Structure 1
C-alpha cells in the first residue's frame, strides 16, 4: 500500500461522483491490477470503477489525470402538467420562451362550448443514482397533479382532459385552465368607460392614460400604450406599444407580461417578463424569467429581479448608469411561502373544528328525529367542509410549488448576449458582484458560493 501511495495520487470530486488518478513517478517494480484495485477499495471506492483505465495506468506513465471511477448521476422525475389545446397556431406561441410577436399574442384564442381546452401529460418517474462510494444519490421525484376544473371548464370522465362549458377565451395557468367571457373597449380608455373590474378577460383596442385602474380575473390585452395606471390580471398582460409610467402606477399579473418596452414602470408578475426593446429605470420582478433580447434588448438603470434567470442583450450604458440585476429566489417568494403555510395551517384547523361540529350534530340527533333547522345546519356544515377541503388542496399545490423553488433551485443564470457596462451589479441571493470593466458576451452563474463569469461561445 505504501508504494502505491507514493506512485499514484487519487483525487475525489466534491460531489463524490468521480475519482481521477495521476501517476507521480515510475514504479520500481511491477504493480498488479489486483493490488491497485485493492488499494482503491481500501479508500472506499466501490462503484463505477473503470478497470480498463486502471489497466491503462499500469501500462505506462500517465501524464494527465485519468478518470478511474465514475458514479451514476440521478435522473430527476418530470412533473405532470397540463398541455393547453389552443384553437389557433398563433396562440400556441404563448407557451414558448421566445414569445415576442405582439401582433400575434394579441390575437385572442377563443373556444366554443364543448371544446377540449387542455390535456394532462402524466409525470415521468425519477431514477436514483449512486456515487463512487456506493451511496445512493436520490433523484428528485416528479410531482403528480389532479386535474381540477377552472372557471367555466369541467374535467372529463377519464380525468385526463378539460372541457369548456361556454364560448369564450382561454386563460392558462400552471395547473388549471379557465374560459372567460370578454369585455372589449373599441378605442382608448376614457372617462366614459372609467375603471374596469371584470370577471373575465379585458381587450382594449387603444391606449390607457394615467390614473385608470384595470382588474380582470383573466388576461388583459392592450393594443396601444399604457401610462401610470393600476393593472392587475389573474392571467397575463399583453401591451402592444409599451409602458410609459413615469414612476406611477403598478402592473401585476399571475401570469406573464409581454410588451415592447418599459419606461419607469413598476412590474410584478408570477410568470415571465418578455420585453422587445428596452427596460429603462424600472422595477421589474418576475417569479419566472426575464427575456429582453429580441430587438434592441437593453436594461438600463433600476432593479430587475428574476427567480429563474435573465437573458438580455445589453446591460447599462456607456455613461455607466447604475443598473442592478437580481437572479434566484426572491424575497417575495419566501414571504409568500410563509403566508401560504400559515393559511394552510389555519384551514386545517378550521376543517378539524368543522368535523367536530358535524359529529356533535350527528351524535345528538337520530336522523329520523332531526328537526328542519338542524338538517339545514348539518347541510351547511358539510358544504363548508367541502369548500375547506378544496381550499386546502389548492393551498397544498401552491405550497409544494413554492417549496420546489426554495428547496430545489433551478440554477438560474444571467446571460448577456452583447455587452454589460461598468457600474452594473449582479446579485445571486446574498452574493453580489460589481462589473468594473465592459464585458462582452458573458454568462454569470453561482458556483460554490461565488459568482463566476464565463465567456459565451
Structure 2
C-alpha cells in the first residue's frame, strides 16, 4: 500500500454503499463500524468475505434501508414486495437471494410464487420496480354455513292477534293473506355446512368456526318430514310463523267490514267476518264462511258450509256460491247456489236460487219466498209463497240443478255436433258428385280427405256425448225423491210450481197447503207433516 493511502474507502451511488479495500490486513471490525455509521446493515462474516475477495475493486456492501421491502395484508393471506432501483446493482442470482432473504426476515414461508421471484430477480422488466407486487398468497378459509330455513310461501309475522283456534288479522298492517292448501310445502331447512381451514403466508392455519344448527318445528296442522328438512301443511288455512315454528290456523277472523281497508278476502281455510261486506267486494273461503253483518252487492264463495247472520242485499249483482249447507237470514236480488241444504229465516226475495238439497224454514222466521226462481233437488218449506200483488215466482223441484245443468250442457253440445256433421256431410256429397263427373282436381281431392277425417272426428265426439247424456238422463229418471212444497200459511196467485217437469199454476190464494207429485201430475193437498 503506498504511503498515505487509506486502507479502505467507502462511496455511495443511488443509495447503495460500495467498499474498496487497499489493505487486507485492516481489521474487519473497523470496516464494520464505518459501514454501520453510513446506515447500512451488514454482518461481520460478510465483511470477512468481502476482504477475502478484495482485489482493490469496488464491491457493494448494501443499501441505505433495504433493496426489497415486504408488506403483509391485514388478513395475512397476501405478501407483497417493493423493489428499490438499487436491486439492479445485483446480478439475477444475488437479487433472488435478496428477495428470498427479505421474505424470510418478514416470516413469509408459505404460498411463495416462485415464478414471480424469478421474474423480479431477472431484471428484465424495470416496470416492476417501485411498485407493490404480490409474491405470496395463502389459502383462504371456506367459511362454515349455518343452517337456515327457506320459507316457500308468504308468511304472516305482524298484524296478527291470537285467539283460541283462530287468527285475527289487521289487514292495514299485513297487506296480504298468507294462506295455504293442504299438502303445500311451507318451508325447507338447509342443513349446516362445515367449512375448511385456511393457511396464511406465515404457514399458520386459519381456523373456521363450527356452523350453527337450528331446529325447524311443526306446529298444529303442519307436518315435519322424517329427515327434519321440510314442513308441509296438513290442512287448509292461514299460515303463521313463530321463530322456527310453523302452524296453519284453519280459521281466519276479519275484524270489522270487508271494504277498501281490507280489499277482497280469500283464504283456503275458513273465514269469519265480524262485520259486513261492502258493495263490489268478495270473500272466498276454501272451507266454511261466516259473516255477521250486512252483505251488499258482493260475491261470497265457500267450499263448505256458509252462515250469513244478517241481510244479503244483492242489488242485482250479488252472488252466493256455497259448497255445503247454506244458512241465510234474508236475501234479495241475488244469485244463490248451494251444493247442500238451504236454511232461511226471514225471506228470499227476487233471487235466482239453485239448491242441490232441500229448502228449510228456520223455526221462528217469517219464511217468505217471493219473486225470482227457485230450483231445488229436494223439498221446499216456507210460510208464505209469492205476494199479494201477484209477483211471479217459480219453484222447480224434484230434480238436481246440477244434473239439469249437465243435461242442458250435453244437449247443447249434441245439437252443435249434429249441425257440424250435417254441414260436413253436405260438403262430402258435393265433392263426391264432382268426382263422379271427373271434375275433382288435386286440391279438391285433398279437401275431400280432410272432410272425411273431420266427419269421423265429429261422429266419435257425438257418440261420446250421447253416451254421457244417456247416463245423466238415467240418473234423472232414477231420482227417488219426487219433491214437495209446503206452504204453512198462504200461497198467492202468480206462483208456478214445477215438480218433475209437471207444472201447476196458482190462480187463487191457497192456505196451509202442500204441493206434491202424484199420478204423473202436481197436486195440491192440505199440509200433513206425517205424510
TM-score range, shorter chain: 0.3 to 0.5
Q: Which gives a bigger RCO, structure 1 or 2 (Cα 8 Å, sep 6+)? A: 1
* Greater C-alpha radius of gyration: 2
- With structure 2 as the length reference, what TM-score do the two structures score? 0.40
